[in-house]
Amino acid sequence: MVWRNYWRIPVPELWVDILEKVKAAGFNTVSFYSHWGYHSARDGHLDFESGSRNFTRLFDICKDIGLYVLFRPGPYVNAEASAGGFPGWLTTGAYGTLRNNDSRYTDAWTPFMSEISKIVADYQITRGGHVILYQIENEFGNQWRNVDLKTPNYPAIAYMELLKSNARANGIDVPLIHNNPNFRTKSWSKDYSNEGGNVDNYALDHYPSCWSCDLSECTGTNGNVPDFTTYDYYSNFQQVAPTQPSFLAEFQGGSYNPWQGPAGGCVNTTGPEWVNVFYRHNVEQKVTSMNVYMLFGGSNWGQIAFPTVGTSYDYSAPITESRTIGEKYHETKLFGQFLRVARDLTKVDRIANNTGLTSTPDIKTTELRNPDTNGAFYVTAHTLSPSRDKTSFKLSISTSAGNLTVPQYASDIVLNGRQSKIIVTDFTIGKQKLIYSTAEVLTVSVQDGVPVVLLWLPAGESGEFFLSGAQAGQVKKSEGASGVKFSPVDGGTVVSYTQLAGSAVIDFEGSKFVLVDRASAYKTWMPSTSNDPFTAENSTVIVQGPYLVRSAAIDGNVLTLTGDWTESIDLDIYAPMSIQKVVFNGKTIRVNRTRYGSLLGRFLSAASTASSIKSQLPPLTKWKVSDGLPERNGNYDDSRWTVANHTKTPNPTPPATYPVLYADEYDFHTGNILWRGRFSNSNATGVFLSVIGGTGSGWSAFLNGAFIGSWLGSTSVTRGEQQLSFANATLNSNTTNVLFIIQDHMGKDQTSGATNPRGIFNATLIGGGTFSSWKVAGKAGGGQNIDPIRGPYNEGGLHAERLGWHLPGFDDSAWENGTPQTSSSNAGVKFYRTVVPLDLPRGVDASLGFVFSSPAGSKVRVQLYVNGYMFAKYIPHIGNQVTFPVFPGILNYHGDNTIGLSVWSQTTAGASVSVDWTVIGAVESSLDVGFDSTYLRPGWSDRSEYY
């Protein structure tokens, strides 16, 4: 299992790409979070239609390609989303503290949850669809006030009951699940108590290597255990939910990257070896289902993110934000594809878990055995999971051919550092049994009734397998193995060998074995001709060679494949003997039958490379520029702005000064917020400002147009406080003065912090006088959602955003020429625009992005808009992200692209920012990224009412 969030890839045409990659990695189910705020810009308004808000296409694709669905609607989802997915309007405090049975909150979520349940209900397996599970709430492990004493927490129980009955009343009849945040909360399990709120399946979330790329964020929860420590889930499931499937509803697939995290993320802390050991460890723990968070993360585009993270949600996941795949994906695939064919694993007893089965105590083994078939799985790993030792050993196994110590002929089994192996016994393949194999099973694919068994080992290691009822085999292809030896034994033949780079093929009466090394296994694909998520062995073909195989279909003697490739490669295909013709992405591939029974073809066309694509991208040099912050000037006409005059607030954190200057209660929930405070007849010499914007936020202040100071921001401070002098400004002692503040809003906090305000907590004149009035501007139209396609999170209150300068079609002909490299020498905001045409080669999936740089010490806050979508927030003094991927569809690959750049210089040193294209990947592909996506990029229309 795996999951992704459709709202992090707001281009529905690309969903199929991700889902095909999920399927190709061997998964049978995919999980989606919804996002209430994404669908509800204001109370009483729901949108399940505009652009990517119509998510039912996901269900159709899943059904088409054979994936089940776990749907997780919320109402709270967390997910590193602003307010955990709660809409901004919900977070004012007017709906209470949230996530309880307060009727104000209940009335708020009921329409959303009812509607989403009704939509999903039609796609349930009970109605012919693929949705098999429904999760309510998220990491709400609040059933108990005291877990040990089982003291019920009634408001939380009542809330879960409300959510359950709402789902049921609106047609959800698949099992309900809930994901506990850790081992300690023990909530909502029927086996554990009869208290209310229980769901059908208890589940646990776990991030053994920290959910953040900044490992120090996890010391409080993961403790100070050594890196690469595995955990005991088995006891928890036995204690809390012994009769239920052991479900890891979130298991680490990577980590989010906070602002202070390393550029490019932290793929090394959860890299291929981590995948190898930790996923096998979950098998050892008798985990029944495991949902990888994330297999694909996506983008934190717009202002959808909560403050701690930037605009990337790459998550260091197996499928990158740019949709590319590499070693981590392939290692995940080895595991996923094995599980797909390890049919006996679906019902096992945990027989042993100790160091007694191996010839060394440095290796521990867990034996899992299917009571019906006697098929067993011996999960071997270093006794100390962080070990980097290379350890050789023999293993004692119990098989239908007797108790054996293996290997018997080959060199010992090796665990080379951070590695784990699952050694199967009595593994059924057709009419034969693999009595054991010390090499791991990659897959089994049945062709013309004959199982083709792929076994894999790191090159240089020795393997041994015992095939029941078999005579000596014939080595049909010898390049990939040395020392192949057939030893006749009672009941069959034992084959021992040393794996070399590449593959070797051995034919037996009734089966074919393909022995591959890890690198070849990474390039091996098992597409299915059926759309059954269980993917029967007789519905697959094996294709070795390309970057990706997405699909396979057989029609008569033609095998049609789709996929991606990056270079001239051989295709080695195991398919039925009747196949005479192979078509890959519409092109006929000349194939010959090999002596070892496969079809071998050669791609002759070399693909476009990243550098050839780069050379086709127009330079980003011709910019137009305009002042992006006229609001700072004393005479700016703010007559259309919202008067901020509340004298009391529902917010649980009341401000220090009044009126209330919390943006959410004036219907502004995202991005930059602009404030104008007036005062007159004052001898004030300065102002004390305390502004809440979340961690990493910043603000700048101006008096009558003159810059007086900034809070630059810090990744640990949510409220920036400064006392600023008016010495460098001109105070009008008789007429009105205007204090102008632009604040950056980084999103709203998660969990109980969702109601933390964004705005001015304290504005106090120093030296006399008080503010007579305040006005506020934010996103054009506030909750009116004037751009429903891009939606409520795309814009904030910047001048350029309010007037739509970021949108395609705005007329900038009257603007001056300029470049962001030689930008302002003042504090303030400049907005740049350029329009660049693209015409990229058809048939190439190019992943593009933008890369930023600025001189050391720059104090700038930069936002990038691509055809109106905010796709980058570059703040070099706060965060380390410099590369920002942008999806095709947001970019128009065959037409004009409007690029906007807002450069806010926070100091008088001014700003100089360089921005350029980067090509993150380019593969020849069946995926058409040149699709018509005009509907996703609505153009400018007059917005002067939001001036």
Using CB under 6 A as the criterion, which residues of the chain lie in contact with ligand GAL when the complex forms? 77-80, 138-139, 181, 205, 211, 250, 256, 293
3-state DSSP percent of the chain in helix, strand and coil, to 5: 20, 35, 45
Q: CA–CA separation, 904 vs 697, rounded Å?
A: 13
Alpha helices in 170-285 (DSSP H): 219-222, 234-240, 272-284
Tell me the β-bridge partners of 474.
507
Distance in angstroms between the alpha carbons of the first and the last residue of the chain = 48
Strands (E), 264-385: 289-293, 349-354, 363-369, 376-382
Marked catalytic residue, from 13, 20, 80, 139: 139
Q: CA–CA separation, 542 vs 822, rounded Å?
A: 56
Q: Identify whether 407 is preceded by a cis peptide bond (ω within 30 of 0).
A: yes
What length does the chain have? 947
Taking the complex as a whole, the smallest distance from the CB of residue 881 to ligand GAL amounts, in Å, to 17
> Residue 934 in 3-state DSSP?
helix
Taking the complex as a whole, the smallest distance from the CB of residue 179 to ligand GAL amounts, in Å, to 6
Is 935 within 8 Å of 889 (Cβ atoms)?
A: no
Tell me the β-bridge partners of 455.
441, 515
Q: Is 250 a catalytic residue?
A: yes
The token pair that represents 841 in the structure block: 């080669």
Sheet holding 131-136, edge to edge: 3-4, 29-33, 68-74, 131-136, 176-180, 201-206, 247-252, 289-293
Q: Phi and psi (nearest 5°) for 640? A: -90, 0
Taking the complex as a whole, the smallest distance from the CB of residue 38 to ligand GAL amounts, in Å, to 15
The token pair that represents 379 in the structure block: 């999960």
Residue (181 or 889) nearer to ligand GAL, CB: 181
**DSSP label at residue 239:** H
CA angle 164–170–173, rounded 5-degree value? 65
CA angle 240–245–251, rounded 5-degree value? 85
Residue (78 or 493) nearer to ligand GAL, CB: 78
Closest CA to 778 of 693, 709, 696, 708: 693
Q: Phi and psi (nearest 5°) for 233? A: -95, -30
Residue (78 or 419) nearer to ligand GAL, CB: 78
Residue (258 or 655) nearer to ligand GAL, CB: 258
Taking the complex as a whole, the smallest distance from the CB of residue 139 to ligand GAL amounts, in Å, to 4
H/E run at residue 423: strand 421-429
Marked catalytic residue, from 13, 20, 250, 801: 250
Closest CA to 456 of 502, 408, 401: 502
Q: CA–CA separation, 70 vs 4, rounded Å?
A: 11
Q: CA–CA separation, 160 vs 162, rounded Å?
A: 5
By beta-carbon distance, which residue lies closest to ligand GAL? Answer: 78
Taking the complex as a whole, the smallest distance from the CB of residue 34 to ligand GAL amounts, in Å, to 12
Q: Is 321 a catalytic residue?
A: no
Residue (657 or 751) nearer to ligand GAL, CB: 751
Taking the complex as a whole, the smallest distance from the CB of residue 161 to ligand GAL amounts, in Å, to 21
Residue (328 or 394) nearer to ligand GAL, CB: 328
H/E run at residue 678: strand 673-679
Is 772 within 8 Å of 678 (Cβ atoms)?
A: yes
Q: CA–CA separation, 26 vs 299, rounded Å?
A: 24
The residue whose two tokens read 């199967």 is 424
Sheet holding 432-437, edge to edge: 349-354, 363-369, 376-382, 421-429, 432-437, 462-468, 492-499, 481-489
Residue (6 or 486) nearer to ligand GAL, CB: 6
Is 494 within 8 Å of 486 (Cβ atoms)?
A: yes
Residue (236 or 743) nearer to ligand GAL, CB: 236
Taking the complex as a whole, the smallest distance from the CB of residue 249 to ligand GAL amounts, in Å, to 8
Taking the complex as a whole, the smallest distance from the CB of residue 292 to ligand GAL amounts, in Å, to 12
Closest CA to 566 of 843, 177, 268: 843
Taking the complex as a whole, the smallest distance from the CB of residue 211 to ligand GAL amounts, in Å, to 4
Strands (E), 1-67: 3-4, 29-33
Taking the complex as a whole, the smallest distance from the CB of residue 267 to ligand GAL amounts, in Å, to 15
Taking the complex as a whole, the smallest distance from the CB of residue 138 to ligand GAL amounts, in Å, to 5
Taking the complex as a whole, the smallest distance from the CB of residue 482 to ligand GAL amounts, in Å, to 45
DSSP string, 757-798: --EEEEEEEESS----EEEEE-STTGGG-S-TTT-TTS--S-
Residues 668-700: b if buried by 16+ CB within 10 A, e if exposed: bbbbbbbbbbebeebebebbebbbbbbbbbbbb
Taking the complex as a whole, the smallest distance from the CB of residue 747 to ligand GAL amounts, in Å, to 13
Return the active site residues.
139, 250
